[in-house]
Amino acid sequence: MTRADSVPAFDLVADCYDAALNEGLSLTGETKEYFARERVVLLARRLAERGLVPRSVLDFGCGTGSGVPFLLAGLGVQKLLGVDISPASLAVAEREHGSADVHFATLDAAAPEGEYDLAFCNGVFHHIPPAERPAALAYVHRALVPGGIFALWENNPWNPGTRYIMSRVSFDRDAITLTPPETRRMLRAAGFDVLATDFRFYFPHALRALRWIEPALTHLPLGGQYQVLARKRAE
């Protein structure tokens, strides 16, 4: 999922997207797979605490689908739809991750209504112009069942390391980041109730011995990314 006027650019980088992202993340000593896995680990923990067992997931702004294996393995879902506005990225996703239970489509081609228990979104909204964000949220809202959960991950602009890494990635340099309060206000305005905000990714690989304390730091607003967990209000 990208801002509308940069779709061709994302189409052009579809085949090298992962390499470009990993180059930016190299300062952390980790690859994108580490971050993708740990995002789902935290999400699974929060869902389990609430007794929630999603069977279907909408991956909003799925890009090349690199997060799909972690969503499937970490959440045990039975059905997944990945949507994006970059056809070239979706072609990569379909080739690498498509199956009988996993499908990909452009936002124009897929219009789910009340079908998904969970929507997942990572690092997408900072690519969407602020004026277009309500429409994107409305799409997610429509796709969820009443009471469905939206796990929205965003890069934390309060973390200097995050800002520096984004400056090294060509498709992130012009992004308009969202602070946690902005994200919560945006979700509430779109018809969601905010359940929790968690911060993650405090220590690079060189300091991995300290990562065992990260579960106790989720309310400290300095992690590299944050997750806002929200619930679609029952109409």
pLDDT tens, 63-93? 999 999 999 999 999 999 999 998 988 999 9
pLDDT band at 55 (very low <50, low <70, confident <90, very high): very high
Specify the pLDDT at position 9. 53
Of the pLDDT bands very low, low, confident and very high (cuts 50, 70, 90), residue 175 is confident
Give the pLDDT mean for 18-33.
72
Q: Is 111 helix (H, G, I), strand (E, B) or coil?
A: coil
> What CATH number did the domain enclosing 194 receive?
3.40.50.150
Predicted pLDDT at 10: 59
Residue 26, pLDDT above cutoff 80: no
**Closest alpha carbon to 18 in 61, 64, 60, 84:** 64
Q: Residue 19: which pLDDT band, with cuts at 50, 70 and 90?
A: low
In this predicted structure, the answer to whether residue 29 has a pLDDT above a threshold of 70 is: yes
- Report d(CA 222, CA 10) in Å as an integer: 29
Q: What is the mean pLDDT of residues 125-144?
A: 96
124: domain range?
Answer: 4-232
pLDDT for residue 174: 83
Q: Is the pLDDT assigned to residue 110 strictly greater than 80?
A: yes
CA distances from 203 to 9, 200, 213 (A): 32, 9, 10
CA–CA dist 122, 153 (Å, integer): 5
Ranking 122-126, 173-177, 179-183 by mean pLDDT, the lowest is 173-177
pLDDT above 70: percentage of residues in the chain: 88
Structure confidence at residue 128 (pLDDT): 92
Interatomic CA distance for residues 136 and 181, integer angstroms:
18
- pLDDT surpassing 90 at residue 17: no
Q: For residues 183 and 169, give the distance between their C-alpha atoms in angstroms, rounded to a whole number.
A: 23
The alpha carbon torsion through 82, 228, 128, 165 (nearest 10 deg) reads: -100
Beta partners for residue 58, in sequence order: 81, 119
102 HSE (CA, 13 A, CB side): 21
Is this model's pTM higher than 0.85 or not? yes
How many domains, in total, are found in the chain?
1
Structure tokens, 227:
């997750």
DSSP 233: P
